[in-house]
């Protein structure tokens, strides 16, 4: 089993499929497909088999988090708008036993909208990486590697 890579899910919530088009002054010009390829590459160097998913449907996200809980799969989660109000996602995150890293491309605490200053994900997260752009996903994967004691080359 030393040849197998540890599976990690990178889960992105609503509107993140529009990266590169949606408010590039806030979220940058990298598309979601480009982000996915970067995450797979970064993960591979850390000994991870990264699977990147994006949905605009809350039930899909809950199902993915429930499956991650059942299979003890580490998760990098950008719940996007759901971060601020989804108790369904809060409850799903509460079940996770493998590391969960909350990630945000922008820094929600520096955004003018008050509602963005609250996260229902943070209470369940191993760490929060925010305001570092797309590179925050790399940092989030590194946090998972550190949490699992991975040094590259799989579990």
What one-character DSSP code corresponds to residue 91?
A: H
Q: What is the per-residue pLDDT across 38-81, written as a single tens digit (0 to 9) for each?
A: 999 999 999 999 999 999 999 999 999 999 999 999 999 999 99
User: Does 154 fall in a domain?
Assistant: no
Range of the domain at 112: 6-148
| Distance between first and last Cα of the chain | 7
Query: pTM for this structure?
Result: 0.89
**Does 66 carry a binding-site annotation?**
no
Which band of pLDDT confidence, cut at 50, 70 and 90, is reported for residue 147? Answer: very high
User: Does 136 fall in a domain?
Assistant: yes
Q: Tell me, what CATH number does 140's domain have?
A: 3.40.50.9100
User: Does 155 fall in a domain?
Assistant: no
Instruction: Give the chain's largest Cα–Cα span.
Output: 48
State the catalytic residue, choosing from 27, 32, 90, 124: 27
Whole-number Å distance between alpha carbons of 100 and 64: 13
**Does 105 carry a binding-site annotation?**
yes
Is 104 one of the catalytic residues?
yes
**Does 121 carry a binding-site annotation?**
no
| Burial tier of 148 (Cβ tally within 10 Å: 0-12, 13-18, 19+) | middle
**Does 138 carry a binding-site annotation?**
no
State the catalytic residue, choosing from 32, 90, 104, 124: 104
Number of domains in the chain: 1
């Amino acid at each position: 089993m030393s040849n197998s890579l540890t599976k990690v899910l990178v889960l992105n919530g609503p509107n993140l499929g529009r990266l590169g088009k949606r408010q590039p002054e806030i979220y940058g010009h990298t598309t979601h497909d480009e982000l996915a390829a970067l995450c797979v590459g970064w993960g591979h160097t850390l000994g991870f088999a990264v699977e990147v998913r994006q949905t605009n449907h809350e039930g899909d996200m809950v199902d993915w988090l429930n499956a991650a809980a059942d299979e003890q799969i580490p998760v990098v989660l950008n719940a996007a708008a759901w971060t601020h109000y989804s108790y369904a996602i809060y409850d799903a995150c509460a079940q996770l036993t493998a590391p969960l890293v909350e990630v945000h491309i922008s820094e929600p605490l520096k955004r003018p909208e008050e509602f963005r200053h609250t996260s229902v994900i943070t209470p369940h997260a191993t760490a929060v990486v925010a305001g570092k752009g797309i590179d925050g996903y790399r940092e989030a994967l590194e946090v998972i590697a550190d949490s699992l004691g991975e040094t590259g080359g799989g579990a």
